[in-house]
A and B are shown apart, each in its own frame.
Chain A
Amino acid sequence: AQKVTQAQTEISVVEKEDVTLDCVYETRDTTYYLFWYKQPPSGELVFLIRRNSFDEQNEISGRYSWNFQKSTSSFNFTITASQVVDSAVYFCALSEARAAGNKLTFGGGTRVLVKP
């Protein structure tokens, strides 16, 4: 069965600090997809990134970067030079290729609080 663990429940930083969110996953499938979503106070989940299991390249998008390591089953997310607008709950999620209906399994979420 697929499982996603986000060990950090809450992280508090001061603006401009870097923050890294950990995500560890379990799956028996060889083909799978990993996602990160952001949930701001408004409540709607916003897609940030998708990564395929066969593509281990790290990715950078502005102040966001992702480190995918298959050897440790981790897909960590770093926010560089954090801003108050980054305050949100962040979810890591996994979808196995065999899963019916593109079923996504989510981690417990990490609440990030960026103080001015």
Chain B
Amino acid sequence: DVKVTQSSRYLVKRTGEKVFLECVQDMDHENMFWYRQDPGLGLRLIYFSYDVKMKEKGDIPEGYSVSREKKERFSLILESASTNQTSMYLCASSPKNRVTNYGYTFGSGTRLTVV
């Protein structure tokens, strides 16, 4: 069964901490994405990557960075966590071919609370 796995389901961090959210996919997908989900706002794209070591800013990249050293792994980094980054974070992947039948494959999400 193909999967996108996020390392933590729940995380509590303190303001100012450096936070790493990890995502691994086993489908050999070229594209990987990080979204955050907030009530009423839907999913908003933070960063995405279409190849190893490549990254592109999404709609709300401020306060975040990413790393993709291997094809299967895409990390989201909060350099100095703040309370307004408390949210559900969703990782997703998709194949390179634009005409994809299934859109993205999503992970189960990481609910991050910054106190």
Give A residues with C-beta under 8 Å from B. Answer: 4, 6, 9, 33, 35, 37, 42-45, 47, 50, 52, 91, 93, 95, 97, 100-109
Question: Given A42-B108, A97-B98, A104-B104, A9 and B50 touching (CB < 8 A)?
Answer: no
Q: How many residues of B contact A (CB 8 A)?
A: 30
The chain B residues found within 8 Å of chain A, CB to CB, are: 31, 33, 35, 40-45, 48-50, 56, 58, 88, 90, 92, 94, 98-109
Which residues of chain B have C-beta atoms less than 8 A from A6's C-beta? 42
Whole-angstrom CA separation of A102 from B107 in the bound complex: 17
In the complex, the chain A residue whose C-beta lies closest to that of B32 is: A101
What secondary structure prevails in chain A residues at the interface with B?
mixed
A93 & B103 in contact (Cβ 8 Å cutoff)? yes
Of B35, B48, B107, the contact of A44 (CB 8 Å cutoff): B107
A9 to B115, CA, bound (A): 28
- B43 contacts A106, C-beta separation under 8 Å: yes
Task: Please give, as numbers and ranges, the residues of chain B lying within 8 Å of A101 by CB-CB distance.
Answer: 31, 33, 48-50, 56, 94
A-B contact pairs, 18 of them (CB 8 A): A9-B40, A33-B99, A37-B103, A37-B106, A42-B108, A45-B90, A91-B43, A95-B103, A100-B48, A100-B56, A101-B48, A101-B49, A101-B50, A102-B98, A103-B45, A106-B43, A109-B40, A109-B43
